[in-house]
Amino acid sequence: MALKKLWLDLDTGVDDAQALMLALADPGVHILGISCVHGNTPLQNVLQNTLRVLRVCGRTDIPVYKGCQRPLLSPKQHASDYHGKDGLGDVPDPDPPSLDLLQKKKAVPAMIKAIKDNPGQVTLVATAPLTNLAVAVQLDPTLPEKLKALFLMGGNVNSRGNTTVCGEFNFVADTEAAFVVLERYTCPTFIAAWEFSCRSSLPWSFCDQWLSQDTVKARFMKQITAFSRGTAQSEDYLSTQSTAGHGFNSCDCYAMAAALDESLMLENEEVAVSVELEGAHTRGMMVVDYMEQLKKQHKVFLMKTFDLDKFKGMLMRSLQ
């Protein structure tokens, strides 16, 4: 059977690392490349973190590319309060991988070429601010029609934010890019929104089981997850993030897992969406057009329910 071809666009913090390790553990996948972008942590950290995860998994053969280091127009921001200043829980790396492992070619041209060379075969998974994707479609407007599918982690469906009053981090971190992507990418598009991931969170007891596996990968994940777990279980976080649920929520893993195995998506909702660009409180909010007033032909698939038992199995295998 032919391998499923993926291109990954990451801002590697802890949940991106978890998602990347899901993909690396799937024997049916060929990762054509990884484009890095600003987001959870500054770009230089994202590059280092991505190489670090690949090294732990013995996969530094996968090409990693340097992408956009700032948003199109939005103020630059990061998520160090949740992921740690370095994006991976501030766990020291005594022997960091050399940045010489990075490809010389820039991320956006590399992404465009990979998709062009494999028309209709590449699934693009983006778990980060969408700057690289927005720049790519500006350079090659035909790019979306060459994609097999696009899987995104981002946006929100009930106007409940995790970064601003009404905005989810990836869409707030580059609001114009999110708008461009939702307008211009007309390939089959699947979105794991913030509230969906919250509703689908897993028990902390499963997290303990997942991290207690006696492997190098599990010990690494336990180390880098400690900071964000402490934050997620703190009273201050739970009091301000009422939508976050009271369990283990690795947001990016839902988009990645669905891209790897679409059968995990038990229920999706097909609807047109956009992004609010101007509101004082609603800038970055995903607009869900149930009344069809936007008159958009292209509709996305919003994930609604997930096969959590199968998802747990994928997570367990990712650390074995």
Name the residue type at position 237.
Y
Single out the catalytic residue among 9, 11, 16, 174: 11
pLDDT tens-digit map of 16-66: 999 999 999 999 999 999 999 999 999 999 999 999 999 999 999 999 999
pLDDT tens-digit map of 99-143: 999 999 999 999 999 999 999 999 999 999 999 999 999 999 999
Is 11 designated active site? yes
Name the residue type at position 290.
Y
Q: What is this structure's pTM?
A: 0.96
d(CA 287, CA 171): 11
Three-state DSSP at 253 gives helix
Residues 237, 227 contacting (CB under 8 angstroms) = no
Given CA atoms 221, 197, 245, 236 in this order, what sign does their dihedral have? Answer: positive
Q: How many residues does the chain have?
A: 320
Three-state DSSP at 237 gives helix
Given CA atoms 204, 205, 206, 208 in this order, what sign does their dihedral have? Answer: positive
| The pLDDT value given to residue 237 | 61
Sequence-ordered list of residues with C-beta below 8 angstroms from that of 36, at least 6 positions apart, any chain: 10, 11, 12, 43, 46, 47, 50, 64, 65, 66, 67, 107
List domains and CATH numbers for the chain: 4-318 (3.90.245.10)
Task: Tell me the percentage of the chain whose pLDDT exceeds 90.
Answer: 90
Angle formed at CA 271 by CA 267 and CA 277, multiple of 5 degrees: 125
Angle formed at CA 292 by CA 290 and CA 296, multiple of 5 degrees: 120
Residues 257, 314 contacting (CB under 8 angstroms) = yes
Average pLDDT, the chain: 95
| The pLDDT value given to residue 241 | 58
Task: Tell me the percentage of the chain whose pLDDT exceeds 70.
Answer: 96
